[in-house]
Amino acid sequence: MSDTYQAPPGPSVLSPATSDERTLPAVIYGLYLGGFLTGGMSTLAGLIMAYVLRDEGTPFQQTHYEFQIRTIWILIVSVVAAIGLAIVGIPLSIILVGILFWIASGLVFSLVGLWFVVRCAVGLARVLQDRPYPHPWSWFL
């Protein structure tokens, strides 16, 4: 199975995206990035929008909606892993080994935050360039 998106042939795939096609995916990327200011509430709103709109969109939009949905789920799994490291580090702090777990947890949080921002920025750039996302199921870019 290939990670490359194979869109069905149709006029919306062969022609550049209209401004209407670009608006909703761009708004969702904006909501995702706004989650840093709203404590994740706008990110949640963006996720709900992506789920609601993914079956109704054009093939261009569907690549971005799939990419956006997958981004959030990878983010959630990564944050849960970082929280798990922090929790394991609490009792192990008594013997000073837990400090390493706390450092690892902080590193994971930092890298995941950076990954999330870069992934959203790349997706937004592709929307603004009228390009569908080529690999919406990938873990990286």
User: How many angstroms separate the CA atoms of 63 and 71, rounded?
Assistant: 12
Q: Please indicate, yes or no, if residue 136 is contained in any of the structural domains.
A: no
The pLDDT score that the predictor gives to residue 20 is: 81
Is residue 22 in some structural domain?
yes
Residues spanned by the domain of 55: 11-128
One pLDDT digit (tens) per residue for the chain, 141 residues? 455 555 554 444 435 566 688 999 999 999 999 999 999 999 999 999 999 999 998 999 999 999 999 999 999 999 999 999 999 999 998 888 999 999 999 999 999 999 999 999 999 999 999 999 999 888 887
Asked if residue 134 belongs to a domain, the reply is: no
What is the predicted pLDDT for the residue at 112?
97
Does 140 map to a domain?
no
- The burial of 70, by beta-carbon neighbours within 10 Å (0-12 exposed, 13-18 middle, 19 or more buried), is given as middle
In a domain, 3, yes or no: no
In a domain, 133, yes or no: no
Q: What is the pLDDT of residue 140?
A: 81
For residue 4, is it within any domain? no
The total domain count for the chain is 1
Residue 11: per-residue pLDDT:
44
